[in-house]
Chain A
Amino acid sequence: MIALLLRDLRLAMRAGGGFGLGLAFFLIVVTLVPFGVGPQGGLLATIAPGILWLGALLACLLSLDRILALDWEDGSLDLLATAPLPMEAVVSVKALAHWLTTGLPLVLATPVFGLLLSLPSKGYAPLLLSLLLGTPALSVIGTFGAALTVGLKRGGLLLSLLVLPLYVPTLIFGAEMARRGVDGLDYSTPLLMVAGITCGTIALLPFASAAVLRVNLR
């Protein structure tokens, strides 16, 4: 399992691995929004948590079809399916590698991007915490979507359509947590909801992804 994780991380770092893809997209969204909204600091500060969450979600979506499609194309997925690793472990490791290369860099870059959107200083901690708790769910749900669409040519559109509704709860509670933080309110309820969604998806979805993948590999 560790070998698979290291391989995926190494592949992401090498040329054409798409490591910076999500981050660059996130940067583009965050720098363009102030131009679109206009130079009103107050308005920007109000919408900043939502924009940052939406940017993170879309950046994550952008790289989802790479999770399994590349391994499918070169035949590694067939070979991994016949290897001693259980399929559930393969999809869990794939999701973890996706989070480490997409979700975690987004979380780490958020303080800088929050500055660009004039996010009030008391909003940073809850926003970071909400992203840190919420983005693993995005990767795990995305892996499930990738497993569903793995054999399809140009499955990216279908993948986005399948995954977006599943992302909505994470987005609602994550952005709500960040918004309450900015307004100085108590944010423990959305925090528990986000954490619960993430724990639930990590516990359950690998089994669904593995089952779907077995059917798709026939």
Chain B
Amino acid sequence: MSLEVNDLSIARGGVRVLEGVSFTLAPGRALVLRGPNGIGKTTLLRTVAGLQPPVSGTVEAEAESLVYAGHSDGIKATLSVAENLNFWAQVFGRKDISPALKAFDLAPLANRAAGMLSAGQKRRLGLARLLVTGRPVWVLDEPTVSLDREAVAMFAQVVGAHLAAGGSALLATHIELGLEGAETLELAPYRARAAEVDDFDEAFL
């Protein structure tokens, strides 16, 4: 169930940003990616999630084990909180959304239209989606944006419980979550030296 990344090079908009990134993420562990803005944290996470192909190197993970949460939460404003979560639960072939509602304190808001939520509540709804998917490896891009201190603690607790249950998490965040079994990977040493990508179609994307 572990996630293995070998000698990965990635590009964004035709410019190579990171090269030679390797790490292994074992069950029960979390890996926090650090680095200045623009170094390629989001691109790395999108590559790991399979949304874009790497320039070279490999990402090895068990099929159907990853779930990705990006900058936007994928929430439909005109659906209620429960309808949003139910939809994702059904897409991932699961039914019960009440643990997710409870973990992020969304039960009182369950019947409210998601468009009426505050930014922090929307983020909590986006993170609650991770729980309804039931996938073991979480790939999270800046999960704590617009969360207040209590919600960050709530999130750290959920991630902690997920790790304790044998899951793992790959996060890009600047906030110290105080997770047990968390390692930090500084991305600055992997910054790509040769900026050009000679892949033909990349020039047009």
Q: Which A residues form the contact surface with B (CB < 8 A)?
A: 2-4, 7, 10-11, 14-17, 71, 73-85, 215, 217-218
A74 to B74, Cβ gap below 8 A? yes
B64 to A84, Cβ gap below 8 A? yes
A78 to B68, Cβ gap below 8 A? yes
B78 to A75, Cβ gap below 8 A? no
B79 to A79, Cβ gap below 8 A? no
A4 to B52, Cβ gap below 8 A? no
B91 to A75, Cβ gap below 8 A? no
CA distance in complex: A16, B46 (Å):
31
Q: Which residues of B from 125 to 151 have beta carbons under 8 Å from A?
A: 129
- Residues on B with C-beta less than 8 A from A75 are 70-74
A11 to B79, Cβ gap below 8 A? yes
A10 to B51, Cβ gap below 8 A? no
Distance (whole angstroms) from the CB of A121 to the closest CB of chain B: 42
Q: Which residues of B from 37 to 55 have beta carbons under 8 Å from A?
A: 46, 49-53
Q: Given A7-B87, A75-B72, A78-B68, verify A84-B92 contact (CB < 8 Å).
A: yes
A sample of 13 cross-chain residue pairs with beta-carbon separation below 8 angstroms, ordered by A number, consists of A3-B87, A14-B78, A74-B72, A74-B74, A75-B71, A78-B68, A79-B68, A79-B129, A82-B49, A82-B50, A83-B88, A84-B91, A217-B52
Which 9 A/B pairs are nearest by Cβ-Cβ distance? A75-B72, A3-B90, A76-B74, A14-B78, A218-B52, A79-B74, A75-B74, A82-B68, A7-B87
- Residues on B with C-beta less than 8 A from A215 are 205
Most buried by B among A10, A73, A78, A79: A79
Q: Which residues of B from 64 to 123 have beta carbons under 8 Å from A?
A: 64, 66-79, 83, 86-88, 90-93
CA distance in complex: A74, B82 (Å):
18
Distance (whole angstroms) from the CB of A3 to the closest CB of chain B: 3
Q: Given A82-B49, A83-B91, A215-B205, verify A7-B79 contact (CB < 8 Å).
A: yes
A15 to B78, Cβ gap below 8 A? yes
Q: Which B residues form the contact surface with A (CB < 8 A)?
A: 46, 49-53, 64, 66-79, 83, 86-88, 90-93, 129, 205
Known contacts A79-B88, A218-B51, then 17 further A-B pairs from the complex at CB < 8 Å, ordered by chain A residue: A2-B90, A3-B90, A7-B76, A10-B79, A73-B72, A74-B72, A74-B77, A78-B70, A78-B72, A79-B69, A80-B74, A82-B50, A82-B66, A82-B68, A83-B88, A217-B52, A218-B52
The total number of A-B Cβ pairs within 8 Å is: 75
CA distance in complex: A83, B68 (Å):
9
Distance (whole angstroms) from the CB of B123 to the closest CB of chain A: 12
- Residues on A with C-beta less than 8 A from B51 are 78, 81-82, 217-218
CA distance in complex: A83, B72 (Å):
15
CA distance in complex: A81, B68 (Å):
10
B52 to A74, Cβ gap below 8 A? no
A218 to B78, Cβ gap below 8 A? no
Determine the residue in chain A with the shortest Cβ distance to B49. A82
- Residues on A with C-beta less than 8 A from B49 are 82
B87 to A78, Cβ gap below 8 A? no
CA distance in complex: A83, B78 (Å):
22
Q: Which of A4, A14, A73, A84 contacts B79 (CB 8 A)?
A: A14
A3 to B76, Cβ gap below 8 A? no
CA distance in complex: A188, B153 (Å):
68
- Residues on A with C-beta less than 8 A from B93 are 84
Distance (whole angstroms) from the CB of B45 to the closest CB of chain A: 11
Distance (whole angstroms) from the CB of B40 to the closest CB of chain A: 14
CA distance in complex: A82, B48 (Å):
11
B64 to A218, Cβ gap below 8 A? no
Distance (whole angstroms) from the CB of A193 to the closest CB of chain B: 36
Distance (whole angstroms) from the CB of B153 to the closest CB of chain A: 25
- Residues on B with C-beta less than 8 A from A85 are 91
Distance (whole angstroms) from the CB of A177 to the closest CB of chain B: 38
- Residues on B with C-beta less than 8 A from A11 are 76, 78-79
